[in-house]
Amino acid sequence: MKIGFIGLGNMGGPMAANLAKAGHEVIGFDMAEVTIEGVTMAASGAEAATGAEVVITMLPNGQILRAVAEEIIPAMSQGAVLVDCSTVDVESARVVAAAANASGLLSVDAPVSGGIGGASAGTLTFMAGGTAQAFAKAEPLFDIMGQKAVHCGDAGAGQAAKICNNMILGVTMIATCEAFALADKLGLDRQKMFDVVSTSSGYSWSMNAYCPAPGVGPQSPADNGYKPGFAAELMLKDLGLSQQAAEAADADTPMGQLARDLYDRFVNQEDGKGMDFSAMLPRFEKRGRG
Ligand code: NAD
């Protein structure tokens, strides 16, 4: 298949490389000078999109996605599929899908979970929004770049699933970290805390699979000086998107809002920038109630 791939950063680079490795013809474009094994570089997004059966975008945010879509949609062939794998606001996903469909293209919003490790290993999870026909055309590529693809519904449904999942993740990570810090102050051993909670009703992915306490539970960024992993600023981005969506949909999300505010403070006023999002634990550890 001839594939255009726009946005070859930390995630897009290895995803495009995996498509090329699987035997597809991949024409890439990035604003920055990059070289990706097996990928032929084009001089512009429009050039990468011309003649491609599928164009994949993996960009920083919705504003950039909208600008890139405006440029590439007119260059794409009738019936081709535009697959956006970036994490963006639901509104941008729907606007881009509508513009693509109006030009006779198929479209899928397909944000991913699995991080840079999953992108390299080809083990991402895709959550997709779009018509069944569009999803069916993109699915063989999801199978190369990932291990699971869930068709969540119409345009925007992939982004909706992604931000709801990450809102739960942000809230439970904070709850897990503050509970560890409280347990410390109550004189409870961290290993005992883990042994109880990981097999009791307080368990979660944050506790069981990504324990924020160093030396406790499975290997996680906490065991590596809180080097990301999943950076606190990326969690802040996703929590911002879920609050933006909650406002637009008039949904009451007080815990999501609080989680957003705490990560905002952590990233922008404290020392959280560049740290893994589980570094909330050392943050709470240092604090009292004041
Ligand atoms: P990144 O900053 O490494 O890559 C983005 C790339 O887009 C950069 O190479 C940049 O030069 C390029 N770019 C920006 N504007 C462009 C334009 N107009 N035309 C062409 N290229 C342009 O970011 P990333 O970590 O690869 O993340 C990409 C997306 O994936 C984001 O939406 C992010 O939220 C999401 N995501 C990231 C992770 C992660 O762990 N990094 C996990 C899940 C989802």
What separation in Å is there between the alpha carbon of 165 and the centre of ligand 1?
20
Query: In which region does residue 108 sit, left (phi positive, over 0), alpha (psi from -120 to 50) or beta (all else)?
Result: beta
Active-site option among 162, 192, 227, 286:
162
* Average pLDDT score over residue span 24-49: 98
Distance of alpha carbon 239 from the chain centroid: 11
Distances (CA, A) of 105 to 76, 80, 82, 84, 244: 8, 5, 7, 13, 28
Residue nearest to atom 39 of ligand 1 (CA): 115
Find out whether the beta carbon of 43 lies less than 6 Å from any atom of ligand 1: no
Find out whether the beta carbon of 13 lies less than 6 Å from any atom of ligand 1: no
Find out whether the beta carbon of 10 lies less than 6 Å from any atom of ligand 1: yes
pLDDT of residue 265: 98
More confident residue, 286 or 290: 286
Pick the atom of ligand 1 nearest to 86's CA.
32
**Model confidence over 123-163: pLDDT tens digits?**
999 999 999 999 999 999 999 999 999 999 999 999 999 99
What separation in Å is there between the alpha carbon of 59 and the centre of ligand 1?
4
Residue 272, CB-side half-sphere exposure with 13 Å CA sphere: 26
Widest CA span in the chain: 66
* Average pLDDT score over residue span 215-232: 96
pLDDT of residue 66: 98
pLDDT of residue 268: 98
* Average pLDDT score over residue span 28-55: 98
- pTM of the entire structure? 0.94
Please check the confidence at residue 8 and state whether its pLDDT lies above 90: yes
What separation in Å is there between the alpha carbon of 5 and the centre of ligand 1?
12
Pick the atom of ligand 1 nearest to 115's CA.
40
Please check the confidence at residue 290 and state whether its pLDDT lies above 90: no
**Model confidence over 243-258: pLDDT tens digits?**
999 999 999 999 999 9
Residue nearest to atom 20 of ligand 1 (CA): 30
**Model confidence over 173-191: pLDDT tens digits?**
999 999 999 999 999 999 9
**Phi, psi angle pair for 202, to nearest 5°:** -90, 5
Residue at token pair 């991402």: 124
What separation in Å is there between the alpha carbon of 176 and the centre of ligand 1?
29
Q: DSSP 3-state assignment of 198?
A: coil
The first and second tokens of residue 220, run together, are: 């996680």
Return d(Cα 174, Cα 140) in angstroms, integer: 37
Residues 6+ apart with CB under 8 A from 21: 37, 38
Q: Is 192 among the catalytic positions? A: no
Query: In whole numbers, what is the pLDDT of the chain averaged over residues?
Result: 97
What separation in Å is there between the alpha carbon of 131 and the centre of ligand 1?
25
Which helix (H) or strand (E) segment is 161 a member of?
helix 157-185
Strands of the chain, DSSP E: 2-6, 25-29, 39-41, 54-57, 81-84, 106-109, 112-113, 124-130, 146-153
* Average pLDDT score over residue span 208-236: 96
Find out whether the beta carbon of 233 lies less than 6 Å from any atom of ligand 1: no
